[in-house]
């Protein structure tokens, strides 16, 4: 249940991997947690056994946790607020005259 880019960890023998699972076709991969494995092949297999024991997924990504660069909460305003005034990105911004279907 780790979130990428955490405070520094002391070095460990077996690196940390973040796991992303596509639950069903048509959905995007979602972060489900993390695990330890010495290499990518084992990480992928461990992820399958740990996070999809109950058929939770059809596709798995594993990413070395160290390879993820994360924004910090302090940067929230600069990173995400500019999107707040771009209401035109959302379909509800547009008024559709009555009687127009399939739009």
Partner 1 sequence: MKGPLDFTLALALGDDALVAAQRLGEWATRAPEMEEDIALANIALDQLGAARLLLSYAGELEGAGRDEDALAFLRDDREFRNCLLVELPNGDFAVTMVKLLLLAAYQVPLYTALAGCADERLAAIGAKARKESAYHLDHAALWVKRLGDGTDESHRRAQAAVDQLWPYHHELFTADPAAPVDPAGLRADFDAVVHPVLAEATLTRPATGWTPGGGRDGVHTEHLSFLLAEMQVLHRAHPGAQW
Partner 2 sequence: MYGNDFVPQEDAPGGGLLGQVEAAEVALREAAARSREGAAAPGEDPAAYFADVIDADQKIEPRDWMPDAYRRTLVRQIAQHAHSEIIGMQPEGNWISRAPSLKRKAILLAKVQDEAGHGLYLYAAAETLGVSRDELVELLLDGRQKYSSIFNYPTLTWADVGAIGWLVDGAAIVNQVPLCRCSYGPYARAMIRVCKEESFHQRQGFEILHTLSHGTPAQRAMAQDALDRWWYPSLAMFGPPDGDSTHSAQSMAWKIKRFSNDELRQRFVDMCVQQAEILGLTIPDPDLRWNEERQAYDFTQPDYDELMRVIKGEGPCNRQRMEHRRRAHADGAWVREAATAYAAKQRAESQREKVAA
Q: Residues in the site for partner 2, rule: CB under 8 A?
A: 1-3, 5-10, 12-14, 16, 33-36, 38-39, 42, 50, 53-54, 70, 72-74, 76-77
Q: How long is the chain?
A: 103
The verdict on 76 binding partner 1 (CB under 8 A) reads: no
67, interface contact from partner 2, partner 1, none, CB < 5-8 Å by kind: none
Residue from 16, 36, 64, 68 touching partner 1 (CB under 8 A): that is: 36
- Residue 66, binding choice from partner 2, partner 1, none, Cβ under 5 to 8 Å by partner class: none
Closest CA to 66 of 14, 22, 29, 21: 14
């Amino acid at each position: 249940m780790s979130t990428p880019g955490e405070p520094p960890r002391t070095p460990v023998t077996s690196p940390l991997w973040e796991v992303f699972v596509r639950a069903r076709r048509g959905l995007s991969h979602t972060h489900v947690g993390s695990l330890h494995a010495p290499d990518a092949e084992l990480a992928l297999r461990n992820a399958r056994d740990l996070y999809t024991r109950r058929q939770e997924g059809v596709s798995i990504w594993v990413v070395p946790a160290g390879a993820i660069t994360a924004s910090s909460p302090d940067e929230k305003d600069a990173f995400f607020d500019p999107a707040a005034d771009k209401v035109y990105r959302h379909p509800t911004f547009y008024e559709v005259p009555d009687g127009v279907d399939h739009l």
